Structure 1
Amino acid sequence: MASVRYRHTMYDYDRHGRKRWYVRVVFNGKNVKRRIRSEEGTAEWVAEYNGHIEDLKTESAARSPYVKLHSLEWLANLWMASAEFQQSKPATQIQRRSILKGILKEHGHRDCRTITKEVVQAGRDKRAKTPGAANNMIKVIRGLYTWATDAGLVTNDPTQGVKRLKLGDSTWKPWTKDQREKFKAAHPYGTTARTAFHLAFDGGLRRSDVVQAGRQHRDATHLRLDQKKTGKRVSILITPELAKALDTAPSKGLSYVQTDYRKPYSVKGFGASVRRWVKEAGLPPGLTLHGLRKADGVRMAESGASENEIAAKLGHTDTRSASVYTKGANQERLADAAVRRYSEQSAPLSKSVGQFQSESSMESMPKLAGGGSGET
């Protein structure tokens, strides 16, 4: 399989007749091999192969004569080839590489030992319109220089004293109830769009987990899978709506969500399909699958779920993200309670005023004949 479909692979047999796969490339006329230890034909085999390819590319760049010694690019390549970097989650590695690519495009030629706090601040301010991106840039540079300092490659960390920007409102807007109902009306049970909808809304799954969710993850009561982003295992109770969506999923094989060609989606390709489904439902552009996950968080908070409960359902590693949902729900709950409290306190006052008005009216009315003093 691998010798045909995957480049830079080879295999041999050990003394027990078991096949051993390797990724092999040539550096400066020398063969460099990395063993693939996962079972052939599995997703783990492919993931390990891709990881070795990335590692070897990084090592090649670090050894390249075109990368200047002590340049920022040289330092970044060494970090990406380090054990510390490789031990981070795959999604974290992808994000870090993407951020580093942008940084190196502008500053890769500079001496890593002379990068200053002012340079980092300028990069942060350049990204001020997207505070999250600015803060992620600071985080990646800090990680790079923390590792480099421990390794004795540099003596200063230019991120020291650089403050993170305050985050504004999230661009991931939760779907309203009307928007969800309109989407469901356009995409009935038995469609891929509807299956994905319930995996994101009722399952609370990220896009990367929706595309990997499969029948192998389901038991009588739950979906149980390891999140792509964090590696943390989540167990999602299957609601009647989610059960119906999974039971009527049009896909064949393991994956619940597949392309029209019966193949699993890539994460990016799936995002394009979600945009198409949103448009077909007549909904405004900008609604994303992540907005359904946020709508699930809002729904849980409004029903009184705790931060720990929300974090457990959505697979967060801490309660900071969950607090965003509970703060909004608690604000509304507390505000309603305050209004009810002063409304209840004002009720007796309203009653006494009404009684006073009634009594005053009675006193101003003429006495009935035969009453009291007999005056007319």
Structure 2
Amino acid sequence: MKKVPHLKSRKRRKTGRWAHYYRRFDRAKGKEVEISLGVHGLHPSDPKVLAAWAAEHARWQDMPPGIESPKAETFGWALDLYTSGNDKWAKYSEETKKSRLAIFARYRKAQGSRPIKTITSDAIERALYAKGGHAAVNEYKALKPVFEHLRRLGFIAKNPMAGIELDRPATQGFAVAGADDIAAFQERWSVGTLERLVFDLALYTGAARGDLARLGRNNIKGDLLVYERHKSKVTAYVPLTPELREVISRTPDIAPTFILNSFGRPFAKESLGNLFGDAARAAGISARLHGLRKAFCTYWAEKGKSTHEIAAMAGHMSLSEVERYTRAADRERMVKLLVRVA
């Protein structure tokens, strides 16, 4: 079996029982320390031994110095186990990881020392019900995979969150930019302003703010604008219409992205969203950048493109999402506004 760094497994002579430790030099203490992994009795080839090692190793590698190791098979220990050496966690976007780590930090503080086998479905359901709203939904999404990881490794017999149902809050989603909104923005922000450039590029590419901030001439492939959506990793194929070509012609020929801030650098997605939000309020509209993404779908639906074709352009993973976006009023007027080349 391949040697794992800092993992020390010893078979006791008297009992024949295996014991497993994480052994490493602690600079703060000036000596080598040996930490029990809490999985004694298991054979070194058991996957639970490697999982326990991965959690402790990640703590030493990634966490700030001075963080005490939680006791084995407590909830704090389980969180470390889930976020280290777990392929599914590794595949989440950095944005998703950041939001879920914030949730984990709160639970680590409140429930970190609690043994995982004492956590029941009833206790979790009551806690989520008391919190309610979108916060409860977000915590449910973050915590359920943690318990599922424990179940698959054999530390618990059943995922206590399996079967829990939440009262999901109703949502209207992002406001679609209708014909009146588009006309109002075009009236307030003339061609040549940064606000209008952001608006037009969002309309004609259908890109979400994170993708819009990264688009540039390197994404032009023949008659298409091609890019991979940051959130879903789905590739979007946007036709280079005369309107889109005209907008691109207003951007710098040599630049990393179409849209640059006052320092000549690409925008962070949050800053780009804030810029558009301020511009939209100045124009008297409520739609945000995501609302323009919906208008993009509506525009192409009116031009006769099928749901599948629009999905390929917008990079959507769900056809139902495209269909929902294209249910808009005043579509004919919207198209007339969008094909008006300044």
Same-fold call, TM > 0.5?
A: yes
Deviation at 1:237, TM superposition (A): 1.1
Instruction: Verify the 8 A CA contact 1:59 1:78 in the aligned structure 2.
Output: no
5 Å matches for 1:142-181? 142-166=144-168, 168-181=170-183
- Establish whether residue 74 from structure 1 lines up as the match of residue 77 from structure 2: yes
Instruction: Verify the 8 A CA contact 1:59 1:77 in the aligned structure 2.
Output: no
- Establish whether residue 297 from structure 1 lines up as the match of residue 286 from structure 2: no
Q: What residue ranges of structure 2 are gaps of 5+ in the alignment?
A: 1-23, 29-57, 332-342
Q: What is the aligned partner in structure 2 of residue 226 from structure 1?
A: 228
Q: Relative to structure 1, is the Cα distance of residues 238 and 128 closer, same or farther in structure 2, using a 3 angstrom cutoff?
A: farther
Q: Which has the higher contact order (CA 8 A, sep 6+)?
A: 2
- Establish whether residue 186 from structure 1 lines up as the match of residue 184 from structure 2: no
Instruction: Verify the 8 A CA contact 1:189 1:245 in the aligned structure 2.
Output: no
Secondary structure of the corresponding residue to residue 205 of structure 2: coil
Range that drifts further, 309-318 or 56-65: 56-65
Instruction: Verify the 8 A CA contact 1:222 1:238 in the aligned structure 2.
Output: yes
Secondary structure of the corresponding residue to residue 202 of structure 1: helix
Q: Relative to structure 1, is the Cα distance of residues 104 and 301 closer, same or farther in structure 2, using a 3 angstrom cutoff?
A: farther
Q: Relative to structure 1, is the Cα distance of residues 106 and 179 closer, same or farther in structure 2, using a 3 angstrom cutoff?
A: farther
AA paired with 1:296? F
Q: Structure 2: how far apart are the matches of 1:121 and 1:102?
A: 17
Q: What is the aligned partner in structure 1 of residue 288 from structure 2?
A: 288
Deviation at 1:61, TM superposition (A): 6.6
AA paired with 1:293? R
TM-score normalised to structure 1 length: 0.64
Q: What is the aligned partner in structure 2 of residue 278 from structure 1?
A: 280
Q: What residue ranges of structure 1 are gaps of 5+ in the alignment?
A: 1-25, 31-54, 333-376
Q: Structure 2: how far apart are the matches of 1:90 and 1:174?
A: 27
Instruction: Verify the 8 A CA contact 2:133 2:168 in the aligned structure 1.
Output: no
Task: Kindly indicate which of the two structures has a greater share of residues assigned to helix.
Answer: 1
Secondary structure of the corresponding residue to residue 221 of structure 2: coil
Q: Structure 1: how far apart are the matches of 2:300 and 2:167?
A: 29
5 Å matches for 1:112-261? 112-130=116-134, 133-166=135-168, 168-249=170-251, 253-261=255-263
TM-score normalised to structure 2 length: 0.69
Q: Relative to structure 1, is the Cα distance of residues 169 and 87 closer, same or farther in structure 2, using a 3 angstrom cutoff?
A: closer
Q: Relative to structure 1, is the Cα distance of residues 147 and 76 closer, same or farther in structure 2, using a 3 angstrom cutoff?
A: same
Q: Structure 2: how far apart are the matches of 1:87 and 1:62?
A: 26
Q: Relative to structure 1, is the Cα distance of residues 150 and 274 closer, same or farther in structure 2, using a 3 angstrom cutoff?
A: same
Deviation at 1:124, TM superposition (A): 3.3
Instruction: Verify the 8 A CA contact 2:93 2:231 in the aligned structure 1.
Output: yes
How many residues were matched structurally? 277
AA paired with 1:310? I
Indicate the percent of aligned positions where both proteins have the same amino acid.
Answer: 23
Deviation at 1:114, TM superposition (A): 2.2
Structure showing greater radius of gyration is 1
5 Å matches for 1:12-23? none
Q: Structure 2: how far apart are the matches of 1:299 and 1:243?
A: 17
Deviation at 1:302, TM superposition (A): 5.4
Range that drifts further, 296-305 or 184-193: 296-305
Deviation at 1:65, TM superposition (A): 1.6
Q: What is the aligned partner in structure 1 of residue 312 from structure 2?
A: 312
